[in-house]
Amino acid sequence: MPSPPRVAPISPSDTIINVDTGYGSGYRRAVTIDIRRVHEDELPAYVETLTTSFLERPDVDKVAAEVAPLWRNDRVWAAFEEDGRVRGTFRSWATELTVPGGGRLPAAGVAGVTVMPTHRRRGILRRMVGAEHRAIREHGDAVGLLYASEFPIYGRFGYGPATRVATWTLDALVTGFAGRELVGSVDVVKPDDAAREAIKLVFEAWRLRQPGEIRRRDYRWAYDLGRESAFGERWKGFLALHRDASGAVDGYVRYRTEEKWERRQARAIAHVDELHALTHEAYVALWRFLAELDLVATVKAEGRSPAERLPWLLTNFRAASVSDVGDGLWVRLFDVPRALAARRYDHEAEIVLEVVDDEAPGGRVCVELATGLDGASCRVTERSPDLTLGVASLGAAYLGGIRLRDAVLATGADEHRPRALADADRIFRTLDEPWCSTFF
């Protein structure tokens, strides 16, 4: 296969030439763009650019006041024109990624990436990425994470789609649930402080064992349970808890309902916002609770794992259908040896990988990876590589859910010994599908 393509290095220049002054105006001028962190009094201008680029129209001043105490200004970047107007936005937040085997890595969650429509294709995004990536390394984050609004953008910056998400639709009228009697109980509760603490504990225990999941920001829980937000509509749903035989909460579901009638018959839809369970019994009980809601004919859950066990719980396997399967969390490795050593592998092997990364010294890093059933080691080496591949391809395969042999198709890879790619593909693949339920 051809070698991974090289990406032009980030220019330190702060001059952007030939920027459009308006849609279709035909008039262009040279401007100077400064990439720097944002001060609190500049947040309204930042939010104005952010929401304009995402085609939203909230109350900008209210949004800025709301996020001011929540965002860390040292992780909020903007592209400023000479007159102080914001032409691009980029920010991150500190989190933690669970990797195969239960290891955890400090990570940067990248969000709010925009460039004004009048200033695209002029290098602004590349310079914001460069500033943030340098900061990520200074913070000591081993990986960067994001959700891509548009697929073609982030591969050239070293990110690869590492998890998948899907929509599950359950026709509750044509199936029952197989298996033994339910264990424990399900209760619909008021989404108060006590309930919030209970589901936080469940999620925290769940995310520590789910490859691909991340630590959530504390303030998110208030919004998930109905806190008013200047960004959009307040959540107005229901919260149900599952308790085991001892009364301990070991699962929960947040859901909303959509009223629907056909020929005077109730055909409501229950929309699942989130469902997590620490035991198989809790998982079954919560899905069964949703399917047996009065007036509900359909249960719809977006952003779930394509590997959901739901169909196998049913007396009618076909009652649960999966759709909208696509990319979820994207991963970029900033510290390749640390990241590769942190996860577990299902095979014993040794391989030398040359990872092409234009942000690394010399444009690449060569590592020796040794994997075993009891752990792995990875170190920088001067040995000749078995396989050369791009950092974005490695990021896509890192969590074990995407085949490395597929991830390299678009960008290429070089085998320096026979079957090196097949061996690496086998090493990185995991039996359990990674999944991130936390959108940001």
**Alpha-carbon gap, residue 97 to 331, rounded angstroms:** 10
The DSSP-derived string for 92-149 is: EEEEEEE-TTS-EEEEEEEEEEEE-GGGTTSSHHHHHHHHHHHHHHHHT-SEEEE--S
- Contact assessment for residue 299 and residue 169, using Cβ atoms and an 8 Å cutoff: yes
Alpha carbon 267 to its chain's center = 33
Q: Where are the alpha helices (DSSP H) in 321-361?
A: 336-342
Measured torsion, CA atoms of residues 189, 190, 193, 196, in degrees rounded to the nearest 10: 50
Angle of helix 43-53 relative to helix 60-67, nearest 10 degrees, comes to 120
Is 6 buried (19+), middle (13-18) or exposed (0-12) by CB count in 10 A? Answer: exposed
**Alpha-carbon gap, residue 48 to 42, rounded angstroms:** 10
| 407, two tokens | 């991830």
Q: Tell which residue, 354, 351, 353, 357, has the closest CA to residue 332.
A: 357
The residue annotated as part of the active site, out of 90, 147, 154, 252, is 154
Residue 440 annotated among the catalytic residues of the structure: yes
Q: Tell which residue, 383, 438, 389, has the closest CA to residue 412.
A: 389
Rounded to the nearest 5 degrees, what angle is found at the Cα of 406, between the Cα atoms of 402 and 410? Answer: 125
Residue 159 annotated among the catalytic residues of the structure: no
Please identify every residue annotated as catalytic: 154, 440
